[in-house]
Amino acid sequence: MIPRYSRVAAIDDNEEHLKAIAWGLSQAGFCPVPFHFDDGDLLPAPEAPITGMRIVFTDIHMANGNLANPKMHAGIIIQCLKKIGASGPYALIFWSRFPGEVEQIKRLIEADGPGTGLTPPVVYGSIDKGMVLGADGSGPFDAEKLRKLIGAQMEKFPTLATAAHWEMRAAEAAAKTTDTVFLLTQAQISEQRTKTWESLLAYLAAEAVGPEVAPRNIDAALDSALLPILEDQLSFVGRTSATPIPETHPLRIALSVSPRPQRPDGVSFARLNASYLIDEAGAASPKGEFERGMVIQLPGSFINSGPFIRLFGKERSELIHAEFLLKNKAVTPEQLSQLTLHVVELGPECDHVQGKVSTHRYLLALLVPSALFSLCYSKNYNNLSVIDVGLMAFKEAPQEEFHLLVSTRCYMTLPPSSALGGTCRFRLRRMSIEEVVHHYTTHARRPGVMRFNS
Amino acid sequence: MAKRIPFRVQSHVLKLLGDQLIGHDRLAVFELVKNSYDADARTVTVTLDLLAPVPKISVRDDGIGMSADTIENAWLQVGTDSKRNVQTRKRSPLGRLPLGEKGVGRLAVQKLGDTIRLVTRQEGQPEHAFKISWGALIDSARYLGDGLAVEVVERASPEEFEFESGTLVEITDLHHTDWSRREIRDLYRLVTSLCNPFDDKSSFKVDLDLPGHEAAVADLPTLKDMLASAVWEFNFQIEENGLIKWEYRFNPPKFKSLTPRNQGPVIEKLALIDPDPDDVRPRTNPDPGTGMCEEDEHIFVRPADLEGIGPISGSIYAFHRRDEILKASGAPQQLKKWLEQQTGVRVYRDNIRVFNYGEAGEDWLGLDARRINRPAGKLGAQSVIAQISLDLAKSTDLREKTNREGFDENAAFRRLKRISLSVFDLFQRLHSEDRSAIDRALKGDEDSPPVQAALERLEALGKKHNLVKEVKPVIQAIKAELKSFQDVMVASGLAGMNLALIFHEIVHSVDRIQRRLQAGVDPDEVRKEVEHLRKLMDTFKPLLQRDPARSVPADDLVRRAIGFHADRFARHEVVVSNWTADPEKRHDFSVSVPRGLVVGALSNVIDNAIYWTRFRRERDGSGSAAILVLTSWDEETGGMIAICDNGPGFQLPRDFLGKPFSSTRAGGMGLGLFYCKAVMESIGGSLEVVDASELNEVVDLPAAYDGTAVVFRFQKK
């Protein structure tokens, strides 16, 4: 079952019906987030899409005047879902007086939603308003029945429930972090408790990122301050779960496949890596080229320019050959043109956190179409100076796969605020950066030992 | 260790195939008639002789007959590819393509009797004959291939076909010989419909001989008799290029002032109705840009829609089932009853019937269900005798099921259904005006049934059919709604509004529910009808129980209404210009209105504009679809919001604006503009539909908007 106290959105144009569903949800143990569809506007208007809304209840006919126009009604639901921010897996439960319309509206959302940028629901359900509000929607409200109907719906999505439980555990890790810090304050007098707590948080924030940086972005400073405890708590997520998963649970059935569950056909290794190793959305970071781990495509105007030659000592073609390509392989000009030069920002983490980066360090990198990968150095060739971050494919063209090669011996530096004007492509995730740093430092510390062999 | 084990089939399979091949024993006759067609027969005589010493059913034709070789290698071979084989599948001297293809149809005769005698002769050849007792044949060998044999006699002196060629199949040891009058009539109905009775030029004719039982069918009207009583006739041909040529005739009886009306022939593109939601499948190849599947999105039939189907032609004869009209049409007394057996939409391929389309209870186009949701036409399956004709050589993607229960439900069949329904939709739109004329003529003769009494009858029927749970709450709701409708109308002075027509539809809807309950139809049908009724009431409920008026800027009304369709503009590539959001072109004014009502009304018109601009772009094959929304303020008369488009222009007479259930839009319910008009009148404003160019008197309208302008006028306060 969807975990108790989960947030559940509810949309209706009829305020009485909205109150009814919100009341029913709260009685069933969930946290309702009601939205009134007010002739085209959602009230209160979500300031930004709400992350992690896994269950949405919606009325079907929210516009006056033409109940027999399913395309329009489906279009309105799609718009509402996009405003609320339904993304990732979520269940859409129709809350309507017309259960006979559900299948048609569902088909229209499936057909029309993706073209508008909507992530369609992973599952659907429905509750007939007539069963709790009377046939014309204005009868006596049967709250107990609604509570039961909601409960029955929430039982229907076991896999979504498992994901929601995981999210709940992750949220608990954050809550425990807050508790741990708060419990350090031992003030006896109530008036002092908040004050002591505030002082402690301020102290930790300043310690984490420095007293100059912390006031500039208190949230970020607190994130850094609490991260060590949170990371530890997160590493224990799930280990303490006592909720037994029944034999009939779809995930248990999927896990029982011998010898092991198979990767779904539509999910390539490259897309998996693109989710685990890099963060495509990270390209939009406000820090841009100065974000730690940012992978930046070098601008055409920069390549082979005077500064380029000064920084790397070679022209593009020569540089690529020297740093990344195997010596015994012939490379055509067309193949060479498909290799794109990038850099990876690799400033010290501590300086980044405290906003003290005095010089941004960028390692040279090359994005190589997988078809040309055999031309390049990789760990298969025991070349320690080039790291293959992994096979990856990007969201907008999942069929095109690439390797990102990072050179640990070829880099450039730039002072803060002196941007290259390149294109931020994605950000390496924390563990990927750690791996690059590990290779980089290992390579840099490589001693030149003279050794004689017989 | 591996061992090869024979895979064997017991002879009993012949019996199983025969039993299960067809759903109905009378269809076995059809299988034999199809063989006669394939043999180039011009006339087939089916005889049911129950008074003979040995009762029998025979099928005798004047076709080319069979040679000894054909008997051995085709008739006596189950599953033969003699008609299926592409190389041998060619047209006969009469230009016919073989209908049979699976080579198993003749086994179905076992449904009728246990013994079959076949006599055949080709011109100038000896006569051949054989007899099969199915039970004895099957018992003679345990497995197929273990020596099943039939003795074929060759007669130099023909006994059956002395001077001519042909084939006789005679079935005896009938499974039942006590045919009731109803069963004989059913056989008559079947036999007379096997070849296309609508096509006088057909070279194939099937007669039924009923020695001693002629009286059973003597009083039955012929199809011609029945068609003569039809009030409407609609003929059409859809060519492979997607164009339809149609002709419409309204032949009312001499009743009051009804006058005949003919229209056509017209050649045009056929507008498609939306696909049946039950037939929409997950879109496998959506357009990457829009996520839409082109198949579902275009407005007119395209040549690609007819691939694997070929040209479609047909005719629709529609009846008005009221006794007064039938009587005035000179229809025989029993016509109404007989219509119940004959109505439906049949399919013919090369003029031979495809079963079981058009049989009683087989509403394959879902006309009854559509009638619920689109009451404008008011033509259910029981009001039409229609036929759809296909070309066998070109309808290659329409494959008949082995059990003779229609075509495989593949993509081609779904397209055929959608196109056929679109033709019905076109006809229904054409006929609605004349239908109204009949209704008006009848009106003086009968009042609408009182709502209260109708509801009580409905409640009792719901109880009887165990649908209390579905029906009772709805009835209570309808009662309450109707009361509040009436109260509000009286109190608010809205009685002058033409909502009586909506009441009329409500009563009709209640009536239909009753009829369905009485006929013991599927409860799902009743639920659909109930849902339609509730939707209808919910559409108009806000109009009467409206929210309090509030002052709303005109641009806010427009913004909200446009917002309802925001995603559709991009998807359909419709350009929307909103002058109310343009500081240089807007005319600011506020109106005091129930906002939801007006936004809903504006949204309806925008929805229409999206359709009609796309309609014209696709019809003309060029141009872009564009909608303009503007406001204007006049110190004397007040403000207006106009929605202009570059569609084909308003096609109904202007006075139809106040009439519900009239629409020229394919699949349209005809409530949108009626609702808008009702909304505007309820707030003291008005609604006008004009040529967009007429707005030039008020605003400088770009010439591109040469379609319709729907103008919402608000009273100055």
For chain A, positions 131-190, list CB contacts with chain B under 8 A.
Answer: 134-136, 139
Residue-by-residue DSSP string for A342-401: EEEE---HHHHHHT--SSEEEEEEEEEEGGGGGGB--GGGT-TTEEEEEEEE-TT-TT-E
How far does B286 lie from chain A, in Å, by closest CA? Answer: 9
Integer Cα distance of A105 and A96 in angstroms: 11
Contacts of B279 in chain A (CB under 8 A): none
**For residues A222-231, average pLDDT:** 91
Nearest to B525 by CA among B667, B376, B370, B377: B370
Q: How confident is the model at residue B289 (pLDDT cuts 50, 70, 90)?
A: very low
List pLDDT tens digits, range A45-100: 888 888 889 999 999 999 887 777 888 899 999 999 999 976 789 999 999 988 88
**For residues B517-530, average pLDDT:** 65
Residue among A66, A76, A134 whose CB faces B604 most closely: A66
Nearest to B477 by CA among A135, A25, A316: A135
B333: pLDDT strictly greater than 70: no
Question: Within an 8 Å CB–CB cutoff, is residue A73 touching chain B?
Answer: no
Contacts of B287 in chain A (CB under 8 A): 115
Q: How confident is the model at residue B617 (pLDDT cuts 50, 70, 90)?
A: very high
- Residue B317 near residue B344, CB atoms below 8 Å: no
**For residues A114-129, average pLDDT:** 92
Residue B374 has a pLDDT of 57
Subunit contact B564:A112, Cβ cutoff 8 A: no
How far does A75 lie from chain B, in Å, by closest CA? Answer: 7
Q: How many CB pairs under 8 A join A and B?
A: 125
Residue-by-residue DSSP string for B513-544: HHHHHHTT--HHHHHHHHHHHHHHHHHHHHHH
Longest dimension (CA), chain B: 104
> Scanning every residue of chain A, which has its alpha carbon at the shortest distance from the alpha carbon of B678?
A65
Subunit contact A135:B672, Cβ cutoff 8 A: no
Subunit contact A65:B603, Cβ cutoff 8 A: yes
Residue A128 has a pLDDT of 92
Q: Which residue has the higher pLDDT, B653 or B65?
A: B65
- Residue A417 near residue A423, CB atoms below 8 Å: no
Q: Which residue has the higher pLDDT, A139 or A323?
A: A323
Beta bridge partners of B385: B317, B344
Residue A122 has a pLDDT of 92
- For B101, B142, B310, B311, B658, the CA distances from B306, given in Å and listed in that order, are 23, 48, 5, 7, 38
Q: Which residue has the higher pLDDT, B716 or A112?
A: A112
Residue among A78, A103, A139 whose CB faces B567 most closely: A78
**For residues B679-704, average pLDDT:** 87
**For residues B314-326, average pLDDT:** 83
Subunit contact B292:A115, Cβ cutoff 8 A: yes
Q: What is the ipTM of this complex?
A: 0.74
For chain A, positions 22-51, list CB contacts with chain B under 8 A.
Answer: 39-41
Nearest to A161 by CA among A102, A243, A216: A243
The size of chain A, in residues, is: 454
B37: pLDDT strictly greater than 90: no
Residue among A64, A72, A134 whose CB faces B607 most closely: A72
DSSP B143: B
Residue B236 has a pLDDT of 96
Beta bridge partners of B168: B60, B119
Query: CB count, 10 Å around CB of A325?
Result: 22
Subunit contact B600:A103, Cβ cutoff 8 A: no
How far does B11 lie from chain A, in Å, by closest CA? Answer: 43
Question: Within an 8 Å CB–CB cutoff, is residue A71 touching chain B?
Answer: yes
DSSP A99: G
Residue among B278, B535, B566 whose CB faces A68 most closely: B535
Query: CB count, 10 Å around CB of A115?
Result: 19
Q: How confident is the model at residue A274 (pLDDT cuts 50, 70, 90)?
A: very high
Residue B288 has a pLDDT of 46
Q: Which residue has the higher pLDDT, B557 or B462?
A: B557
Subunit contact B564:A76, Cβ cutoff 8 A: yes
Q: Which residue has the higher pLDDT, A67 or B186?
A: B186
Question: Within an 8 Å CB–CB cutoff, is residue A115 touching chain B?
Answer: yes
List pLDDT tens digits, range A295-304: 999 999 999 9
Subunit contact A64:B480, Cβ cutoff 8 A: no
Give SS3 for A126. Answer: strand
Integer Cα distance of A212 and B483 in angstroms: 72
Integer Cα distance of A78 and A84 in angstroms: 10
Contacts of A113 in chain B (CB under 8 A): 291
- Average pLDDT of every residue of chain B: 80
Residue among A72, A101, A111 whose CB faces B283 most closely: A111
Q: Which residue has the tokens 């190849």?
A: B285
Subunit contact A136:B480, Cβ cutoff 8 A: yes
B332: pLDDT strictly greater than 80: no
- Average pLDDT of every residue of chain A: 89
> Which H/E stretch holds residue B491?
helix B468-492
Subunit contact A135:B534, Cβ cutoff 8 A: yes
B160: pLDDT strictly greater than 50: yes
Q: What share of chain A in percent tops pLDDT 90?
A: 50
Residue B109 has a pLDDT of 81
Subunit contact A40:B561, Cβ cutoff 8 A: yes
Taking phi over 0 as left and psi of -120 to 50 as alpha, with beta for the rest, A447 belongs to beta
Residue A125 has a pLDDT of 95
A16, A66, A101: which to substitute to probe chain B, counting the most B Cβ within 10 Å?
A: A66
Q: Which residue has the higher pLDDT, A133 or B88?
A: A133
Residue B447 has a pLDDT of 45
B585: pLDDT strictly greater than 50: yes
Subunit contact A104:B563, Cβ cutoff 8 A: no
Contacts of B607 in chain A (CB under 8 A): 66, 69, 72
A103: pLDDT strictly greater than 50: yes
List pLDDT tens digits, range A279-322: 999 999 888 999 999 999 999 999 999 999 999 999 999 999 99
Q: How confident is the model at residue B578 (pLDDT cuts 50, 70, 90)?
A: very high
Residue among B290, B559, B672 whose CB faces A115 most closely: B290
Give SS3 for B627. Answer: strand
Contacts of A135 in chain B (CB under 8 A): 473-474, 476-477, 534
Subunit contact B567:A116, Cβ cutoff 8 A: yes
How far does A98 lie from chain B, in Å, by closest CA? Answer: 7
List the single range of A222-226, B132-136, B284-288, B365-369 with lowest mean pLDDT.
Answer: B284-288
B454: pLDDT strictly greater than 60: no
Q: What share of chain B in percent tops pLDDT 70?
A: 77
List pLDDT tens digits, range B601-614: 999 999 999 999 99
